[in-house]
Amino acid sequence: MMGALAFYTVTGIIYSESVLAIIHFILAAERLSIMA
């Protein structure tokens, strides 16, 4: 059970980090397109 819990925790962290990176990338791209 602990193994599954650790797996879900790590997956959740990686997933949230990826979502934040994608949002940051989109915001940066929009900012660049406004400047251009």
End-to-end CA distance of the chain: 52
Per the prediction, the chain carries an average pLDDT of: 94
**Average of per-residue pLDDT across 9-25:** 97
Both structure tokens of 20: 């934040």
Query: What per-residue confidence (pLDDT) applies to 36?
Result: 74
Q: What sign does the CA torsion over 19, 21, 22, 28 have?
A: positive
**Which residue carries 């406004």 as its tokens?**
34
At 1, list the tokens. Answer: 């059970």
Mean pLDDT of 20-36: 93
Residue for token digits 């934040």? 20
pTM for this structure?
A: 0.61
Query: What span, in angstroms and rounded, lies between the C-alpha atoms of 25 and 13?
Result: 18
Check residue 35 and give its pLDDT.
85
**pLDDT at residue 2 is higher than 90:** no
